A = this chain, B = another copy of it.
Amino acid sequence: MNFTDEKNEDGVTERGFTLEVAGNPVPGVLWLAQAAEGQRPLLLIGHGGGRDKLFPPLVASARHYARALGYAVVAIDAPGHGARAMPDQAARVAQHVRHDMTATGGLSADTLALMMRWATQAVPEWRAVIDAVQALTEVGSGPVAYCGLSLGTMIGLPLLAAETRIKVAALGLVGLGAGSAQLEAAARQVSVPVEFLMQWDDELVPRSQALAMYDALGSVQKTLHANPGRHADVPPFERAGWMAFFTRHLGGIPSPA
């Protein structure tokens, strides 16, 4: 894990890094309260399709978790995204998704297949990131939480199925339809507490498919949250509510400030 840059602001240290996994350099960011020492919970944030590790709302919430709860927080660029995106590919994907948004029946088989290839690649990347970050003495081997919507959930489900260090997860904006047998199998293997978010009028995920995904989750403790609106209209209070959800399961550690 090579740290590439560091920035200190409002009591939070933000460090960029690169970690090589299976020959690919994976770019990421780690947020920690300044002067953090010793073991603490680790929160993994998976961005959505077309976003990246420095999507401003993601960064704002990462900083808040680090400052207010003392969590270590890490985000990486998913395959095909952020510093890993090839401009041609990004344009092609955006075109795919724009097309799906105006069609009926949710994500097309093409878009879904591409995203599932990314998810399959992302799982060992996230696992290597957990190894590397927890090896830092200022993070340590505390409990791990995952949050991510849409593409962040397509990656999160197989990651949760594979990775026993993750103890709680906030997911959503993904459904079960044709071509999602792999996602369904992963969902059924999930056993940790999950908060699952859907949008009632999601143009990419038909209502019945989102409900079927919630139903398929293997967790004994799983809560569905739904709000009116389209795919991108998740109300801000939902992400804010994840903090109470994670704290309920992992606790917080006192802010060093």
From residue 173 to 204 of chain A, which have CB atoms closer than 8 A to chain B?
A: 200
Would you call A230 an interface residue if the criterion is a C-beta within 8 Å of the partner chain's C-beta atoms?
A: no
- Contact A226 B223, beta carbon cutoff 8 Å: yes
Q: CB < 8 Å: which of B220, B221, B226, B244 contacts A224?
A: B226
Q: A244–B228 Cα gap in the complex (Å)?
A: 20
Would you call A241 an interface residue if the criterion is a C-beta within 8 Å of the partner chain's C-beta atoms?
A: yes
Q: Which residues of B contact A200 (CB under 8 A)?
A: 215, 224
Q: CB < 8 Å: which of B214, B228, B237 contacts A222?
A: B228
Q: A211–B227 Cα gap in the complex (Å)?
A: 12
Smallest beta-carbon distance A248→chain B, Å? 6
Q: A221–B238 Cα gap in the complex (Å)?
A: 12
Q: CB < 8 Å: which of B214, B220, B241 contacts A226?
A: B214
User: Can you sample 13 A-B contacts with CB below 8 Å?
Assistant: A200-B215, A211-B211, A220-B228, A221-B227, A221-B228, A222-B227, A222-B228, A223-B227, A223-B235, A224-B227, A226-B226, A237-B248, A241-B244
